Amino acid sequence: MLDHLVKTTSELKRVLIFLGYALPPVVFLHNNKLRQIKEDYEQMSIIFTGTKHKSLFLDAEHVIEHITTRHTRISNLHELLRNNTLTLSYLKGY
């Protein structure tokens, strides 16, 4: 599951870069997968909201809400994966 989560998070970031958002390139800086996901979401959160938050789930909620304009609650990794996949399919429609 973590591998799929890393893949969808990096793909989400790649699509946002393609759409013109000023994000750093997709580079794996951490061997720890959760730290890598957190780092990616922090970077996206800073671009969209101007701040990073205390938890991965808060960063993800704000990023996904900004992209889809739909409020979502994320409290575990399964919900994060589901929302990642839905947001990615939403963006690929563009």
Digit-coded pLDDT (tens) for 22-59: 998 888 878 899 999 999 999 999 999 999 899 999 99
41 within domain boundaries: yes
Q: What is the secondary structure of 43-67 as a DSSP string?
A: HHHHHHHSS--SSHHHHHHHHHHHH
- Interatomic CA distance for residues 57 and 77, integer angstroms: 8
Alpha-helical (H) ranges within 1-94 are: 2-18, 33-49, 56-68, 77-92
93 within domain boundaries: no
Q: How many domains does the chain have?
A: 1
70 within domain boundaries: yes
Digit-coded pLDDT (tens) for 69-91: 999 999 999 999 999 999 999 99
29 within domain boundaries: yes
Q: Which domain holds residue 17?
A: 2-88
Q: pTM of the full predicted structure? A: 0.90
Contacting residues for 91 by C-beta, under 8 A, at least 6 apart: 12, 15, 16, 19, 67
